[in-house]
């Protein structure tokens, strides 16, 4: 389950496309710590790096080709995962590249410009939960969840970010 969460978070916030590197780039220490908690039991050397740019972010990563292949394979075959594993995947994806706003009642997941097919597949997967969604093109492909209150109740235990978890709790109340 934890690895499925990591797949979603990695797809949203990966820090490198280099072969064998599994890591995330983020400002949220909660998400960086979650990455460490998942990877630490694997006895891999975890590396940290501060990146200066538009804003200061942290990279946390490991170099391990086997783990990278496992994550890529889980992602490729995600439609075959159990309901709980898929919710964990979406929890990671939302933590990395999602927005939740209880006031305007929306949940959105953002994808890179070249990830439209991934957004389409995720939309199809959501249908298996009875959740309808639509992909809109703002600056990037954006998966907008219809009836976000229902999805919020399903996903809230799989999201780690305190601010997003708070919005999900408000939305599902």
Domain ranges of the chain: 2-74, 84-172
**Residue ranges with strand state E in 29-156:** 47-51, 57-63, 98-101, 106-110, 133-137, 141-145
Written as six digits, the tokens of 67 are: 């783990």
Q: What is the mean pLDDT of residues 144-149?
A: 95
Cβ atoms of 166 and 160 within 8 Å: the answer is no
Residue 51's pLDDT is 86
Q: What is the mean pLDDT of residues 16-27?
A: 92
Q: What is the mean pLDDT of residues 4-16?
A: 95
Strands 47-51 and 57-63: antiparallel
Q: Give me the count of residues in the chain.
A: 173
pLDDT grade for 29, boundaries at 50, 70 and 90: very high
Q: Provide the CATH topology of domain 2-74.
A: Endonuclease I-creI (3.10.28)
Residue 17's pLDDT is 85
- Strand-pairing partners, residue 84, are none
Q: How do residues 52-65 score in pLDDT, each as one tens digit?
A: 888 888 999 999 99
Q: How do residues 71-109 score in pLDDT, each as one tens digit?
A: 999 999 999 999 999 999 999 999 999 999 999 999 999
The answer as to CATH 3.30.70.250 being correct for domain 84-172 is no
Chain-wide mean pLDDT for the chain? 95
DSSP label at residue 14? B
Q: Is residue 173 predicted with pLDDT exceeding 90? A: no
């Amino acid at each position: 389950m934890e690895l499925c969460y990591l797949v979603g978070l990695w797809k949203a916030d990966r820090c490198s496309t280099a072969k064998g590197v599994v890591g995330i780039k983020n400002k949220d220490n909660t998400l960086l710590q979650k990455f460490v908690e998942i990877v630490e039991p694997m006895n891999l050397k975890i590396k940290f790096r501060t990146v200066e740019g538009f804003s200061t972010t942290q990279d946390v990563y490991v170099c391990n080709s086997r783990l990278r292949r496992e994550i890529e394979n889980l992602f490729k075959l995600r439609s075959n995962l159990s309901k709980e594993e898929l919710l964990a995947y979406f929890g990671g994806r939302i933590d990395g590249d999602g927005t939740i706003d209880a006031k305007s009642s929306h949940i959105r997941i953002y994808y890179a410009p070249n990830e439209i097919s991934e957004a389409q597949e995720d939309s199809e997967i959501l249908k298996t939960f009875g959740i309808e969604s639509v992909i809109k093109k703002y600056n990037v492909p954006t998966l907008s969840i219809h009836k976000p209150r229902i999805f919020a109740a399903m996903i809230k235990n799989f999201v780690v970010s305190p601010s997003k978890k708070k919005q999900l709790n408000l939305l599902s109340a």
